[in-house]
Amino acid sequence: MDTFYLVAVIVLILLALSDLVVGVANDAVNFLNSSIGSKVAPRHWILLVASLGVLIGSFFSSGMMEVARKGVFYPQNFYMSEIMVIFLAVMLTDVIVLDFFNTFGMPTSTTVSLVFELLGAGVAVSIFKILGNDESLSNIGNYINSGKALAIISGILVSVVVAFITGMVVQYIARFLFTFNYKKSINYVGSIWGGIALTAITYFIVMKGVQGSSLFSDGVMSYIQEHTLRILLYSFLIWGAIFQILISVFKLNILRFIVLMGTFALALSFAGNDLVNFIGVSMAGLKSFQVHLANPGIAPDQLLMTDLAGPVTTNFLYLFIAGLVMVITLWTSRKSRSVTETEVGLARQDSGMERFGSTQFSRTVVRIVRNFSSNANRFMPRAVSSFVEKRFDTSKAPKYKDQNNAPAFDLIRASVNLVVASILISSATSLKLPLSTTYVTFMVAMGTSLSDKAWGRESAVYRITGVLTVIGGWFFTAFIAFTLAFAIAAALFYGKIPAFIIILAIAVALLIKSNLMHKKKTNAAKADNETISTDDGIVRKCTNEVSKSLKDVLKTFTKTIEGLTNEDRKTLKQVNQDVEELNAEAKKLKYNAYSVLKQLEADSIETGHYYIQVIDYLREIAHSLTFVSGPSLLHIENQHKGLIKTQAAELKEISENISEFFDDIMRMVKENDYSGVMDTIKKQQEILEIVNTARKKQVKRIKQNETGTRNSVLYLGLLNEIKNIMLHTVNLLKAQRDFILNNVD
């Protein structure tokens, strides 16, 4: 049995290392989004500053480890065998849940996931323990600290609202003072803003970053708390004087320093407070095993974990290793970039391709807000309204030639994000209120973006949908963390070693699959976002996109006909997913057309016209394909009669001809040789004649009652959409030819 617990501890440590990787990938958004979004410095300098904060902060986390041991349940009432079930269930769940959110680029709270995993596993083991002892379930309060869970839930609700409103108000004031052309006004009030910002950040480092650290005595922390106002005043005066000198004498942009300092502070806080979320449970498991070894005469199912309820100290070597792993992950993780891009995308100043769609709720919210704003403006004096509009005139913002590399927002908003988040988090810490760093930083960023006119009429509905999706994900985190931890704990409690092996294997398989999925998605996004500066490069990229789209159209069409003929439901379901992706890709090309046209040279107006035509025809082809695959799947799903032999033979003939037709077109597009366009048009007419013949035969079959109503509706619908696909494809070929030839000329 000792061997099993030794293996369990080793697994806990390995899971801790994995959790560090997936945890940092998710929480990196908290301290990177403002720097990366504003492009305050090259990415490697931003990561260097953040790495320094993470490494230093890891040494301040020792005092926070007690959360994992005794923050949610009472360890003195559990035996060693029971406590190890809880810890294993928590770590397995944590790795799976966080990696799931990272894969889809959704920021979530590692604190909330840990607390609800501890709660779920703790409740499961407590219930089984109570039932085994013939106790009443009302005694569960002897094992679980339910007040902690309620405090976390209330903290979520309050922090979401307060952070959003505070960020919105402060950003409005800051933008009113500095405007979008802040380089002039920064000379007059920059030192005051800098003094406030750095005072807040300094206080944040002390209250949130080092409070609870074993490196500082209680006397030092007591002195800080007793003289807080004096420290804040001195800090403001000193920083204000320093910034005034930097502005007046050295002509430096102090906003860069503020943003980088804020990044350092949040990174330090993250490591100092959230490190427990990744290694706290594993360290508690190691401590439990050490207690077991110190009491060899007591069986694991008889040894109470009273020692876990005592003071907590953590070896500095473990903290250093954990900090090092986090730093390495920060530099190498692709998933951390995906999560960061989600928040930056929702906060960026300009509109463009939005990741999220619109919903009825988001449309209603935007409509209500616009109506309220219009009515409010009627009662505002014209002079006041005009003055405010000038202060928020976005046309005064700096212009960038390369829009692909332009900042998502400026340094004023970045500094507000960091300062407001610092003040809110440090204030909550001083009041000992539960708070999630993720929730605060995200909602502050959303509030500042709304106030900064980033949510304009072109993007508001999509941004609101995105914010609601992320917030919904937070509550989903709590639910899934509790439920999954409960289920895994139950399996481990009753299944013992076999259940442990099976669950561990499933967790590893899920991690491998999610990483492969994310790698594929990242590579596709990298190809889409490739920056090309010459007309030739743009033409080459567009040609590749058309070739790929045509290849996908042919593949999905052929598989649809095969699936329908063979009544293969599985194939048709896969084809429908492929068609959805094809439509999404065509939609993305449509949205990116604006960017492509801006990159083309000034004399390429005619070229741009043909490119728009190409994209429009691709959209039409994808749309027609939807009405081929969708009805085919629905027909088979509803268990209707399949195609008769003559229909299958006709569709097979059409499919073979279309395959040859598309092969010729793809060859021309690939080789940029359009000498065979007239031959392709003749081929199109031949196929259309075959389609017309098939339609006539179907009408004859209907009159002779050879096919039923549903079969006839499906078949005639397919023939009609095939005709549309043929017409749009030839038009696309012509537009692509003109697009290429005009660029060659």
- Judge if 515 and 547 occupy the same domain: no
Q: Is the pLDDT of residue 405 over 80?
A: no
Of 524, 549, 573, the residue at which a domain comes to its end is: 524
Mean pLDDT (the chain, rounded): 83
| Nearest-angstrom CA–CA distance, 253 and 69 | 46
Q: Is the pLDDT of residue 299 over 70?
A: yes
In the structure, what pLDDT confidence band is assigned to residue 433 with cuts at 50, 70 and 90? low
pLDDT, tens only, 493-521: 999 889 989 998 998 888 888 777 767 66
| Nearest-angstrom CA–CA distance, 319 and 689 | 75
Q: What is the pLDDT of residue 597?
A: 65
Enumerate residues 6+ apart whose C-beta is below 8 A from 582. 549, 552, 553, 556, 622, 625
- Judge if 154 and 295 occupy the same domain: yes
In the structure, what pLDDT confidence band is assigned to residue 531 with cuts at 50, 70 and 90? very low
Of 508, 524, 540, the residue at which a domain comes to its end is: 524
pLDDT, tens only, 131-142: 888 888 888 888
Q: What is the pLDDT of residue 125?
A: 92
- Judge if 538 and 515 occupy the same domain: no
- Judge if 248 and 291 occupy the same domain: yes
Q: Is residue 354 included in any domain, yes or no?
A: no
> Which strand (E) or helix (H) includes residue 400?
none
- Judge if 461 and 418 occupy the same domain: yes
Amino acid at 465: T
Q: What is the pLDDT of residue 649?
A: 93
Range of the domain at 124: 2-349+397-524
Q: Is residue 358 included in any domain, yes or no?
A: no
CA 429 to chain centroid, in Å, comes to: 27
| pLDDT, greater one: 123 or 221 | 123
Q: What is the pLDDT of residue 212?
A: 53
Q: Is residue 387 included in any domain, yes or no?
A: no
Q: What is the pLDDT of residue 368?
A: 84
Q: What is the pLDDT of residue 496?
A: 87
Q: Is the pLDDT of residue 61 over 90?
A: no
Q: Is residue 378 included in any domain, yes or no?
A: no
pLDDT, tens only, 84-120: 999 999 989 988 888 888 777 777 777 788 888 888 9
Give buried/exposed letters for 704-714 (b at 16+ CB in 10 A, else e): eeebeeebbeb
- Judge if 98 and 239 occupy the same domain: yes
Q: Is residue 367 included in any domain, yes or no?
A: no
Structure token digits, residue 613: 């035509």
User: Are 617 and 735 spatial neighbours (Cβ–Cβ below 8 Å)?
Assistant: yes
Which of 381-390, 635-644, 683-692, 726-735 shows the lowest mean pLDDT across its residues? 381-390
- Judge if 162 and 267 occupy the same domain: yes
Domain count, the chain: 2
Q: What is the pLDDT of residue 508?
A: 87
Q: What is the pLDDT of residue 436?
A: 75
In the structure, what pLDDT confidence band is assigned to residue 209 with cuts at 50, 70 and 90? low
pLDDT, tens only, 128-168: 989 888 888 888 888 887 777 677 677 767 888 899 999 99
Of 498, 524, 550, the residue at which a domain comes to its end is: 524
- Judge if 558 and 461 occupy the same domain: no
Q: Is residue 184 included in any domain, yes or no?
A: yes
CATH number at residue 739: 1.20.58.220
- Judge if 558 and 446 occupy the same domain: no
pLDDT, tens only, 234-248: 999 999 999 999 998
Q: Is residue 371 included in any domain, yes or no?
A: no
3-state secondary structure 341-391: HHHHHHHCCCCCCCCCCCCHHHHHHHHHHHHHHHHHHHHCCHHHHHHHHHH
| pLDDT, greater one: 69 or 56 | 56
Residues paired with residue 73 on neighbouring β-strands, in sequence order: 144
What is the mean pLDDT of the segment spanning 559-566?
A: 93
Residues paired with residue 304 on neighbouring β-strands, in sequence order: 79
Q: Is the pLDDT of residue 532 over 50?
A: no
Q: Is residue 298 included in any domain, yes or no?
A: yes
- Judge if 113 and 182 occupy the same domain: yes
The model's pTM: 0.74
Q: Is the pLDDT of residue 377 over 60?
A: yes
> Which strand (E) or helix (H) includes residue 260?
helix 254-275
- Count other C-beta atoms under 10 Å from residue 512's C-beta: 10
Q: Is the pLDDT of residue 722 over 90?
A: yes
- Judge if 58 and 113 occupy the same domain: yes
- Judge if 482 and 595 occupy the same domain: no
CA angle, residues 287, 290, 295, in degrees to nearest 5: 130
